[in-house]
Chain A
């Protein structure tokens, strides 16, 4: 099942459902890369609160999404990693270095706005 991507003002929101397949994740990556340019979004929020496992493939794909969106001029925030998932990831060495994380959707959107504002003020 494809992962839905929602547009909320200038932010794209992808909400992962339980157990996405590797194909779903790849499709999400490609779709996001395409839409960011088309919709001129400032960033992407990926909500993973429904996941109770995060394997190395999912982690690598999320990292790929973050790097791709950065090249396309937008930021990515991963939100809602569950306590157990977070600790398991750390133990597996999947620490998502250099990728922004936030508590939940609200916090993630606020973070993206702040980055956009910072950039705008730097530009002016």
Chain B
């Protein structure tokens, strides 16, 4: 179910040997640490099941990640991988396979909604239990026991680094997917009449969206042979000088293509903000609302909209 291919692409680079070595340097994991850790193998390995149960019980008691506990197969998988982790933790081999295992477990956490803070809490709980047991195993040598524990802690932080990276890159991936979806939905260019397009803009315009908007509009002008465009910005709460300049550039580019743009729906706030910014909208036709803009556009295109009852030469009343 979880193989390397399902790891987020942004994470793949960390699987290179050089990156893994770098991660070890970051947590200051040296050869003497590894020999200390392998000495703990028996202490931890025999209690692996208990630690695993404890880890998940702690999470469950906190009420975190209900989705993980609600799915029997996912929970079993997470438990199996956690058990695997505890064995690998004291094996002393922290190579590509080890990192992949950590990343796969983190991906499972992320998929079932385990928050980073909850994971850290539970992992620390596990670490406290481990620390206590290590101290108990070496009653005559508290100093040595502490050193062993500190060495183990380096590996633990090595793991946390990997897991945090996966959780974060997963979150970023979700956000970027949502942004893509919003981008696709957010710039409709609609043909209202032959040669007349309307472009209703709703929400924030950042520079990327402004660029997309310009691209879509200019292409639509070409595709629909539009002589007039009514751009309605009623739904835009704020316009800064950058966005205003972009709008002006779009209007100028549309003019070069032989199309006239009317901007409608400048709210009082936006109008005042533009004046305060000193943006020159003098060359652009603007109207207060969409209706005014459409009427102006129809007039310029030579349309006249009349009620049927008032139309000359009507066929029937």
Contacts and interface: CB of A to CB of B under 8 A. Distances in A.
B252 A90 contact: yes
Given A95-B252, A107-B227, A87 B214 contact: yes
Contact of A87 (B218, B222, B258): B218
Contacts of A78: 256
Interface string B116-151: 000000000000000000000000000000000000
A91 B250 CA distance: 10
Contacts of A83: 215, 218-219, 221-222, 253, 257
B249 interface: yes
B41 interface: no
B225 interface: yes
A18 B252 CA distance: 23
B193 interface: no
Interface residues of B, number: 19
Contact of A103 (B219, B253, B257): B257
Instruction: Say whether chain B's binding surface is mostly helix, strand, loop, or mixed.
Output: helix
Contacts of B215: 83, 87
A87 B219 CA distance: 11
B253 to A, nearest CB: 4
B255 interface: yes
Nearest to A84: B218
B82 to A, nearest CB: 54
Contacts of A51: none
B258 A89 contact: no
A86 interface: yes
B256 A86 contact: yes
Interface in B223-268: 225-227, 249-250, 252-259
Contacts of A10: none
B257 A90 contact: no
Interface in A71-85: 78-79, 81-85
Contact of B254 (A79, A85, A86, A104): A86
Given A79-B258, A95-B252, A103 B218 contact: no
Contacts of A81: 256-258
24 contacts: A79-B258, A81-B258, A82-B257, A84-B218, A86-B253, A86-B254, A86-B256, A87-B250, A87-B253, A89-B253, A90-B252, A90-B256, A95-B255, A101-B255, A101-B256, A101-B257, A101-B258, A103-B221, A103-B222, A103-B226, A103-B227, A103-B258, A104-B225, A104-B258
Interface of A: 78-79, 81-87, 89-91, 95-96, 101-104, 107-108
Given A84-B218, A103-B221, A103-B259, 19 more contacts: A78-B256, A83-B215, A83-B219, A83-B222, A83-B253, A83-B257, A86-B218, A86-B253, A86-B257, A87-B218, A87-B253, A89-B253, A90-B256, A101-B255, A101-B256, A103-B257, A104-B225, A104-B258, A108-B258
Interface of B: 214-215, 218-219, 221-222, 225-227, 249-250, 252-259
